[in-house]
Amino acid sequence: MANRDLRSLLTRRHFLRWSQGVMAALGSVPVLGSAVEALGEASPAAKAGMHAAVDYYAKLGVKPIINAYDTVTNLTASTMPPQVQAAVAMAAKKHVQLAELQRACGTYIADKLHCEAAVVSCGASSALSLATAACVQAANGCKPGDIPQEIGTAKFPKNEVIVQKSQRYEYEHAMYIAGIKIVEVSNMEEYQRAFNERTVMTNYLNKFGIIYKDQSIPMEDWIRVAHEHGVPCHCDAAADVPPISNLWKFTEMGFDLVCFSGGKGIRGPQNAGLLLGKKKYIDLAAANNNPGTGIGRGMKVAKEQLVGMVAAVDWILAQTDEGLDREWTRRCNVISDAVKSIPTMKSSVMIPPAENQVPHLILTYDPAVVGVTPREVSARLRTDTTPIFLNEYTGAAKNNQGLPSSVNTIIVETWMLEPGDEYTVARRLHKVLTDPKSVGTYAPRPARG
Ligand SMILES: *Cc1c(COP(=O)(O)O)cnc(C)c1O
């Protein structure tokens, strides 16, 4: 409804009551004014975009946490740097044509990341779905509207994706929704034999390729064999920035498609992601994406996420791995200094070999001497007034990050801390190690019997 029509519908009295409600909800202080002002047409505050922000976390009773872990989905992954937040806020103010914006973002990102083409998805998981749909289409010559219901039928029979047994993971549903089935292989011989007339794609999980190296076919061989059979390869590198150069390493190595999470180390919106690669496949992926009616229709990337993703790419390219590591190591040192007087405490800073390749603070001590176990430390900090979340492998005998871990080890990550949080973590960690009961709560699990 046009403002003009709306205004004629409302009596001034009604309108004032309505507008005051709206303005109060917006957290704007001056609520009296003309109807025109209230509609945001002439109000100086609206013109300047100066509405006082409402703290909806407080209003909703949702407690902000300190993330001393990493880009975990449930902890809302990362926060956007101020430049990215500002770009998102500005993009929110105007309409554009979504398809035009999506194309322009793809072109811009492909140029910056040295690949043929790019599409912005609503996350790495969505990028994996779009990649699978693109490969299904390339193999079958079908349309986005045929996926998934016609795939694997006599009409479009090609539906097999090859993966390695050591690289099976929780994101495979993102591929299944394109109508495929997975063919698992354990070694090169099985891999060679797995290709047939129904093969549409291979998927490689970079992280497990490094961590389970002895059980994985090396990337170069994986790509070469697939290409000998004319089959495209996708690489899941969702959580593999930093190092920053990974943003072009895998496409340059020959992967046809590579996905990254936008809201992890790149620090864009949590519901943004990148699919990079060969133009032929990216064009097909884009055809399945929003706007459109393919499987990507429910994975909408709004203008705010599109612009946020581009701004985040600009942000990460303005950083250096050394500069970032220096700051994250400094924060590790602030925390280790605070606990160095704890009896038996030993500390080191380590960078894991794959995924989240950032400095991790490893604190090891004897719980029998200190009087609190790492599991209890972690639970108490999480339930403190300002909850602090440590790496969840704290106090775990094993982890899948290629880091040393034991029941006597605390793992603290500092790259997702807001500036200054390192001092809070340092203080609270010292407190819980010296006076455990004064921090949070802890209910040891009853023994099983
Ligand atoms: C996080 C992650 C994803 C999913 O990323 P989103 O951007 O949250 O969709 C996929 N694959 C791997 C390996 C991941 O770590």
Mutate which of 171, 205, 236, 250 to test ligand 1's pocket (most atoms within 8 Å of Cβ)?
Answer: 171
pLDDT over 60 (residue 210): yes
pLDDT digits (tens, 9 = 90+) for 93-124: 999 999 999 999 999 999 999 999 999 999 99
Largest CA distance in the chain: 80
pLDDT digits (tens, 9 = 90+) for 162-185: 999 999 999 999 999 999 999 999
State if residue 209 touches ligand 1 by the CB under 6 angstroms criterion.
Answer: no
271 Cα nearest atom in ligand 1: 7
Residues 161 and 175 sit within 8 Å (Cβ to Cβ):
yes
User: To the nearest whole percent, how much of the chain has pLDDT over 90?
Assistant: 82
pLDDT over 50 (residue 28): no
CA distance 48 to 296: 36
CATH number among 3.40.50.970, 3.40.640.10, 3.90.1150.10, 3.90.1150.180, domain 321-438: 3.90.1150.180
The confidence score (pLDDT) of residue 371 equals 97
> Where do the domains of the chain lie?
23-52, 95-317, 321-438
- In this structure, which residue's CA is closest to atom 14 in ligand 1? 238
CA distance 400 to 423: 29
Q: How far is the CA of 239 from the centre of ligand 1 (A)?
A: 6
Q: What angle do CA 389, 390, 395 make, to 5 degrees?
A: 130
Terminal C-alpha separation, the chain = 66
pLDDT over 90 (residue 78): yes
pLDDT over 50 (residue 191): yes
Q: For 239, which DSSP code?
A: T
Distance of CA 354 to the CA centre of its chain: 16
Position 386 confidence tier, pLDDT thresholds 50, 70, 90? very high
237 Cα nearest atom in ligand 1: 13
State if residue 269 touches ligand 1 by the CB under 6 angstroms criterion.
Answer: no
206 Cα nearest atom in ligand 1: 13
Specify the amino acid at residue 208.
F
Q: What is the mean pLDDT of the chain?
A: 91
pLDDT over 80 (residue 9): no
The predicted model scores a pTM of: 0.88
The confidence score (pLDDT) of residue 373 equals 97
Task: Assess whether the previous peptide bond of 148 is cis (omega < 30° from 0).
Answer: yes
Mutate which of 70, 72, 73, 74 to test ligand 1's pocket (most atoms within 8 Å of Cβ)?
Answer: 73
The confidence score (pLDDT) of residue 6 equals 41
- In this structure, which residue's CA is closest to atom 8 in ligand 1? 123
- In this structure, which residue's CA is closest to atom 13 in ligand 1? 238
Instruction: Give me the residue label for tokens 């070469």.
Output: 224
pLDDT over 50 (residue 62): yes
State if residue 73 touches ligand 1 by the CB under 6 angstroms criterion.
Answer: yes
The confidence score (pLDDT) of residue 30 equals 44
Q: How far is the CA of 271 from the centre of ligand 1 (A)?
A: 11
State if residue 236 touches ligand 1 by the CB under 6 angstroms criterion.
Answer: yes
The confidence score (pLDDT) of residue 449 equals 54
The confidence score (pLDDT) of residue 258 equals 98
Q: What is the CATH number of domain 95-317?
A: 3.40.640.10
Task: Assess whether the previous peptide bond of 436 is cis (omega < 30° from 0).
Answer: no
Position 41 confidence tier, pLDDT thresholds 50, 70, 90? low
Q: Which two tokens stand for residue 135?
A: 């490969």
272 Cα nearest atom in ligand 1: 7
- Integer angstrom CA distances of residue 5 from 1, 38, 153, 306, 395: 7, 15, 53, 33, 64
State if residue 238 touches ligand 1 by the CB under 6 angstroms criterion.
Answer: yes
CA distance 255 to 247: 12
Q: How far is the CA of 240 from the centre of ligand 1 (A)?
A: 10
Q: What angle do CA 162, 164, 165 make, to 5 degrees?
A: 125
pLDDT digits (tens, 9 = 90+) for 253-264: 999 999 999 999
CA distance 170 to 225: 25
State if residue 70 touches ligand 1 by the CB under 6 angstroms criterion.
Answer: no
Q: Which residues contact 444 (CB under 8 A, 6 or more apart)?
A: 376
State if residue 273 touches ligand 1 by the CB under 6 angstroms criterion.
Answer: yes
CA distance 250 to 121: 18
State if residue 124 touches ligand 1 by the CB under 6 angstroms criterion.
Answer: yes
State if residue 160 touches ligand 1 by the CB under 6 angstroms criterion.
Answer: no
